[in-house]
């Protein structure tokens, strides 16, 4: 293919990626901002769009029992182990439109390019739009990728959302049978690797004027749900000395999270959600519920910070005479990307004439859950100002095209690269 023709195809891919992102961004539960939670009507709308695009790209596709949308492009013969590509279709509240979605639509664009060129490879490609990565609805993250990796905790089906609807009920309402979730799992010998393209969500690539980067590892994370219970009372009559103010204790606890997590490099801590009851201007808060999210590249550093924060919250509640309930809602160790995939992603980036930058991810990704099934790799695309989880999240069409081009090159070179690296786990199981 001539360079001019390649350029034309690539910018068409970039344009299609950006157009699909805009169509997904229109699937929102709010007219005022982007929010699309797991198993919502808007999740169903997004799945329907993605199914259409997968079909148009030449894939067989379906929604799996946990609500992931999955497409398959067979290799030179049917039934070969797959390279899995993808990311998530759910969003945070008041989200940007690229987090997650970019990885899904770019992977589909790459498969479409293969279909149009009539290329079949020595492996199948599966593209997944995971139903839940952010954990907004049920406070439990990576549900889609855990199911595919065969690591879904069925006790989560009893978890309830903010409206009191259980996950099991929400799955039924979505037209799915929760008992069939184990069927969403892949076996290790059916898969060569999982590779996720994602926006960086940080400032490194932009600062270094680079459109793409190869991810080395994903930071580990711990999440806590904290409930502090005091005594509500009249704001005008209860003397300050006798109060059991749950919110004042929570305020101290939040400051403790900030202090503890400001003490070391590559350690971050956030309280992102706080609810106060009864929540009236003239009532002393009787209950405060809040989330804590602590992450670090090094697991020992994170574990130490978590223990220090828990100790601080216990001390605050004991000193103030308040009851404390603390639940660990999420625990993910840091996740290294496979060296052979880092190398191969780096080669694809370099072949695009882009200096190779390897960098860790502070954000969590579906790749963390997929690492339980297979080797994982990630390709980052620069985002404006490093801003993410924010409606100002932005990338350029040129960077979208660079990402698509590098991912397509990675796919085309994948088979020989895997064999050079000593074979994926599936190849080792069946060297033929």
Q: Is 81 in the site for Mn ion (CB under 5 A)?
A: no
User: Could you count the other beta carbons within 10 Å of the beta carbon of residue 254?
Assistant: 19
The pair of structure tokens assigned to 268 is: 């971050």
Binding flag, residue 16, Mn ion (CB under 5 A): no
- Buried-exposed string 8-41: b where 16+ CB fall within 10 A, e elsewhere: ebbbebbebbbebbebbbebbeeeeebbbbbbbe
Residue nearest to ligand GLV (CB): 364
**Nearest-approach distance from CB 364 to Mn ion, in angstroms:** 7
Judged by CB, which is closer to ligand GLV: 10, or 393? 393
Query: Alpha helices of 321-391 — where are they, by DSSP H?
Result: 339-351, 366-370
Residue 312 contact partner, candidates Mn ion, ligand GLV, none, CB within 5 to 8 A by sort of partner: none
Phi/psi for 208 (5° steps) reads -100, 10
Q: Return the number of the residue (362 or 423) whose C-beta is nearest Mn ion.
A: 362
Helix intervals (H) in 119-159: 143-148
- Strand (E) or helix (H) holding 305: helix 299-320
Q: Can residue 100 be called a binding residue for Mn ion (CB under 5 A)?
A: yes
| 269 touches, from ligand GLV, Mn ion, none (C-beta below 5 to 8 Å by class) | none
Distance CA 7, CA 404 (A): 12
Nearest in space to 25 (alpha carbons), one of 96, 109, 86, 82: 96
Least spacing, CB of residue 365 vs ligand GLV, in Å: 7
Cβ at position 321, least distance to Mn ion in Å: 38
Residue 364 interacts with which of Mn ion, ligand GLV, none, CB < 5 to 8 Å by class: ligand GLV
The least CB distance from residue 330 to ligand GLV, in Å, is 9
Q: Does 99 bind Mn ion (CB under 5 A)?
A: yes
* Closest separation in Å from C-beta 92 to ligand GLV: 7
Nearer to ligand GLV, 388 or 424 (CB): 388
Interacting partner of 90 out of ligand GLV, Mn ion, none (Cβ under 5 to 8 A depending on kind): none
Verify binding: residue 132, Mn ion, rule CB under 5 A. no
CB 348 within 8 A of CB 406: yes
Q: Residue 58 or residue 372: which is nearer to ligand GLV going by CB? A: 372
Give the shortest CB-273-to-ligand GLV separation in angstroms.
12
Instruction: Give the C-alpha separation, 376 to 370, whole Å.
Output: 7
Footprint of ligand GLV on this chain (CB under 6 A)? Answer: 134, 363-364
What crossing angle do the helices spanning 397-420 and 101-117 adopt, rounded to 10°? 70
**What residues make contact with Mn ion under the rule CB under 5 A?**
99-100
């Amino acid at each position: 293919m001539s360079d001019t023709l390649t350029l034309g195809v690539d910018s068409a891919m970039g344009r299609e990626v950006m157009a699909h992102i805009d169509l997904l961004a229109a699937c929102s539960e709010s007219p005022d901002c982007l929010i699309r939670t797991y198993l919502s009507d808007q999740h169903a709308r997004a799945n329907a769009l993605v199914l259409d695009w997968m079909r148009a790209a030449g894939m067989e596709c379906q929604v799996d029992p946990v609500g992931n949308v999955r497409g398959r492009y067979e290799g030179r013969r049917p039934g070969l182990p797959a390279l899995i590509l993808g990311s998530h279709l759910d969003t945070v509240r008041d989200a940007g439109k690229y987090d997650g979605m970019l990885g899904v639509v770019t992977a589909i664009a790459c498969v479409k390019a293969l279909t149009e060129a009539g290329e079949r490879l020595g492996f199948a490609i599966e593209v997944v739009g995971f139903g839940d990565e952010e954990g907004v609805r049920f406070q439990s993250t990576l549900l889609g990728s855990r199911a595919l990796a065969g690591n879904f905790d069925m006790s989560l089906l009893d978890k309830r959302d903010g409206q009191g609807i259980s996950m099991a009920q929400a799955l039924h309402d979505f037209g799915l049978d929760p008992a069939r979730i184990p069927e969403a799992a892949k076996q290790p010998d059916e898969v060569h690797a999982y590779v996720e393209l994602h926006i960086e969500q940080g400032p490194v690539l932009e600062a270094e004027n680079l459109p793409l980067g190869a991810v080395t590892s994903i930071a580990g994370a711990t999440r806590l749900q904290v409930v502090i219970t005091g005594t509500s009372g009249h704001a005008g009559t209860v003397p300050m000395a006798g109060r059991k103010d749950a919110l004042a204790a929570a305020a101290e606890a939040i400051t403790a999270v900030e202090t503890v997590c400001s003490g070391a490099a590559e350690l971050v801590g956030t309280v992102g959600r706080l609810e106060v009851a009864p929540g009236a201007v003239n009532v002393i808060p009787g209950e405060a519920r809040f989330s804590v999210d602590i992450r670090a590249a090094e697991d020992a550093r994170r574990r130490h910070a978590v223990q220090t924060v828990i100790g601080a919250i216990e001390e605050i509640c004991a000193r103030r005479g308040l009851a404390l309930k603390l639940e660990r809602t999420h625990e993910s160790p840091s996740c290294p990307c496979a060296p052979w995939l880092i190398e191969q992603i780096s080669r694809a980036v370099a072949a695009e004439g882009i200096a190779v930058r390897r960098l860790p991810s502070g954000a969590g990704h579906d790749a963390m859950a997929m690492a339980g099934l297979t080797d994982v790799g990630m390709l980052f695309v620069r985002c404006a100002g490093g801003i993410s989880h924010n409606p100002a999240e932005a990338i350029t069409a040129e960077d979208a095209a660079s990402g698509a081009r590098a991912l397509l090159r990675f796919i085309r070179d994948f088979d020989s690269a895997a064999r050079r690296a000593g074979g994926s786990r599936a190849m080792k199981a069946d060297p033929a």
